[in-house]
Structure 1
Amino acid sequence: MSTMTKTVALAAGLALATVAAQPAFAQKKGATASAASGTIVQGLGIASFDAVIANSNAYKAAETQRQTTYKAQYDQAQARNTALNAQIKPLVDKFNADRQGGKVGEAALQQQAASIQQIQENGKAELQRILQPVGLSQAYVNEQIEEKLNDAVKAAMTKKNVSILISPDAILAVNGGAYNLNQDILNELNTALPSAQLVPPAGWEPRQIREQRAAQGAQQPAPAATAPAGR
C-alpha cells in the first residue's frame, strides 16, 4: 500500500486564520545601522512599507474595530469551523485505523481519503464565503492606506534629503549606515490618513479585480460596424 503514503498527512482540522501577523517595525540587525554606530550614507534611505502600513494608526484602528463590526461573521465562521472539525475527525480516525489494520483494500482507502479531502475543500470554501466581508474590509482599508503611502514616502524623503530608498530585504551588507525612514514615513502617513473607513461601499471590489476587469474589457474586440441597408 505504498501509494497510500500520500494520504498520511490528511489533517483533521480546518485552519481559521483571517489576520496575518504584523511585520516587525524594528530595524534588521546588520542591515540598517544607526547614526551612532556608523556614518550615515548621504542620500540613501531604508524603509519597509509593510512595516509602515502595519504600524499606521489607520491600520491598527481598523484591525481593532473589525473585531466588533464583523463579530457575527467571525462567530459564524468559528462555529462552522468547529462543526467541520467534529465531522472530519472520526473520518480521519477511521481511515488511519483501516490503513493500519491492513484489512481494507486500497480502493476503499482511496475512496475514504477522497471523501475526507472533498469535505475539507468544501469546508474551506464555505469559511471563505462566510469571511468574505472581512476580507473585503481588509482590502478596502489597505487600499486607502496605500493611496496615501506614496505621498508620505516622497514627503519623508524630501525632508531627510534622501534620494534613494531601498527595502531592508534587498540589503546584503552595509558598511557604515543608511537612514532608516520608517518612522518618518509613518509620521507623514498618520498625518495624511489618521483613520480609514472600515466598511467598503456596496459593490466595491479590490483594485486587482478592477484592473483585471478593465484589462479583459480592453482586450475584447470592438463590435463590427454594420453597413446601412440598401434602398
Structure 2
Amino acid sequence: MKLDNQLSASTSFLDKFPARLFELGVDASLDRSRQNTREFTVTDKVDNLIAHPPYGGCRGKIVGPNYIYPIAGQIGVEGMLHNFVYLSLLGNLAAKKDATGSAPTITETLNFETTISGTASPKVVFNPLPERSFRLAEAGLVAETKRIDTHKVIIGLSIPESANSDFRDARGQYEGQFLSATGDPTSLNAARAVDRSIARKAFQTVVQINTN
C-alpha cells in the first residue's frame, strides 16, 4: 500500500498606486507519503477447508467478483482448481507409490492493483480593490490524496505423494529462499512449488535478439 497526501495553498495580495499595480504572491505546500509492505504464507488442505471452513465459511463474504476492490471478492481460484483436478485425474499426473522426487504441483500468480484518488481545489476571488488599499485579492487551496493498493497472490497446489498415505499428523517446517511454511508434507510441497515460482520470476533473464 502506498498513500500520498499533498496539500498546497496560494494567496495573492494587491495594492493600487496611481501609476502601477503591485502584486504579492505567497505559496506553500505540504507533501506526505506512507508505504508499507505485508507478506505472509498460508498452507492448508482442501479437505480441511471443506470440512472446517474458517471464520464461518462464506457467510457475509463477497462470493462474486468485486469490480471496485478485486482482492476482496472472487479472484479466479476456481478455474485453477478445476484445471489441477482435471490434469491430476485425466492427465496421468498422479504420483506413484514407488516414485522418487516431488509430487506433481501447479502454481499460479494473480496480480491486482487498486488506485483511489481525489482532488479538491477551492478558490476565493475578492471584489475589485479601492483606489488605495493593500489587501488580499484571492486565495486558493489544492488538496490531493492518492492511494495505491497492490496485491500479489501466488497459489500452489500439490497432491499427496501416495494416494494411501495420510499426512494429517505429520507436520513439518519448510524454509525456502523466499518464504517459510508449516504444514504436512503435501502442504510443504505446494509451498516449495510457490518458492520456485517466485525464484524464477526474481532471477529470470531477458534475452533480446537483433536480426538486423
Same fold (TM over 0.5): no
Q: What TM-score bracket applies, with the shorter chain setting the length?
A: under 0.3
Higher relative contact order (CA 8 A, sep 6+): 1
